[in-house]
């Protein structure tokens, strides 16, 4: 079993820097057993962080997670998300309770607003604080928020624990300002799609670097994300054998030459760009 490093949250607690994503799980009945086996394989390897959302498979991903963590809830760091269409005060509370029911648990370690919608942030935050006071969530955060959104949120509350955004070698826009803003507050960035939905695994530049490390291109893409402080990677796979392959990215130590080559192949932003989402 691998001991996965952690990074601090603003409240002083720790979150693992490597987890399991579940986007697109729970959509097809024929994939259910393999998806459950994949998450269980991750738990067996020491990957305790599992990220899901009510949106994924219209609750189906949460049901997959529930089966995978049955009898193992206390060793799991569980993250789920509320849709912006459910982000009013009362509907946030109801959505959380429904997620808890599907997940077969009485609490979430972290509950996120999936992206900004039409409901005032004050209303959603009020619901989050109510859920926290009731012990249904231990902490809350957001997803797909840029610096301007975070500053608006910070004026309402300083209790936001994390921000989950799209981040990988080909999507580096957040390095212009959001990364530094978050680090100043010890607020982790959770990087979803760190392999760009598998596309980076087909990069010839990554393949060249991978050969020098006896690794795969996907492992190099993950190692690049994990190389950065305060970043949490949550790659998604539905193949149990791929979980172990992804986890081994933690063992890769990129060199300065590797970083320079990657910067040339995937240049950092030269200025402010709009926050990307997929």
Q: Please tell me whether residue 189 adopts helix, strand or coil conformation.
A: strand
Active site residue 77: no
Q: Residue 93: which residues within 8 A CB-CB, separation 6 or more?
A: 127, 130, 131
Q: CB neighbours of 186 closer than 8 A, spacing ≥ 6? A: 8, 9, 10, 230
The answer to whether 11 and 161 have CB atoms below 8 angstroms apart is: yes
Other CB atoms within 10 Å distance of the CB of residue 27: 15
Q: Which of 56, 77, 111, 167 is catalytic?
A: 56
Beta strands in the chain (DSSP E): 6-8, 14-16, 19-21, 49-51, 77-82, 110-113, 140-143, 160-166, 189-192, 231-233
E strand or H helix that includes residue 209: helix 204-213
Would you state the structure tokens that stand for residue 101, as one six-digit string? 């029911």
Sorted by sequence, the CB contacts under 8 Å of residue 176 that are 6+ apart come out as: 269, 271, 272, 273
CA atoms of 274 and 277, how far apart (whole Å): 9
**Which residues are annotated as part of the binding site for substrate?**
114
Q: How distant, in Å, are the alpha carbons of 48, 118, 130 from that of 1?
A: 11, 44, 37
Q: Binding site residues, as ranges?
A: 114
Residues with a known catalytic role: 56
């Amino acid at each position: 079993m691998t001991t996965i490093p952690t990074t601090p949250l603003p409240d002083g607690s720790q979150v693992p820097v490597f987890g399991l994503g579940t986007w697109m799980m729970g959509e097809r009945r024929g994939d259910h057993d393999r998806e459950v086996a994949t998450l269980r394989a991750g738990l067996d390897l020491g990957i305790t962080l599992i990220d899901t959302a009510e949106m994924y498979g219209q609750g189906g991903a949460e049901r997959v997670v529930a089966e995978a963590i049955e009898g193992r809830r206390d060793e799991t760091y569980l993250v789920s998300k509320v849709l912006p269409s459910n982000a009013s005060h009362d509907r946030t509370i109801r959505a959380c309770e429904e997620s808890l029911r599907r997940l077969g648990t009485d609490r979430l370690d972290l509950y996120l607003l999936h992206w900004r919608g039409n409901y005032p942030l004050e209303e959603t935050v009020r619901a989050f604080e109510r859920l926290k006071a009731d012990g249904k969530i231990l902490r809350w955060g957001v997803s797909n928020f840029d610096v301007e959104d975070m500053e608006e949120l910070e004026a309402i509350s300083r209790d936001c624990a994390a921000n989950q955004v799209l981040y990988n070698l080909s999507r580096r826009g957040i390095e212009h300002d959001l990364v530094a803003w978050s680090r100043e507050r010890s607020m982790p960035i959770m990087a979803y799609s760190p392999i760009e939905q598998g596309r980076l695994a087909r990069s010839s530049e990554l393949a060249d670097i991978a050969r020098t490390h006896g690794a795969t291109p996907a492992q190099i893409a993950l190692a690049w994300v994990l190389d950065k402080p305060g970043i949490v990677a949550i790659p998604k796979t539905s193949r149990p054998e791929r979980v172990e392959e992804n986890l081994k990215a933690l063992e890769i130590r990129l060199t300065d030459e590797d970083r320079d080559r990657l910067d040339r192949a995937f240049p950092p932003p030269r200025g402010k760009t709009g926050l990307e989402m997929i």
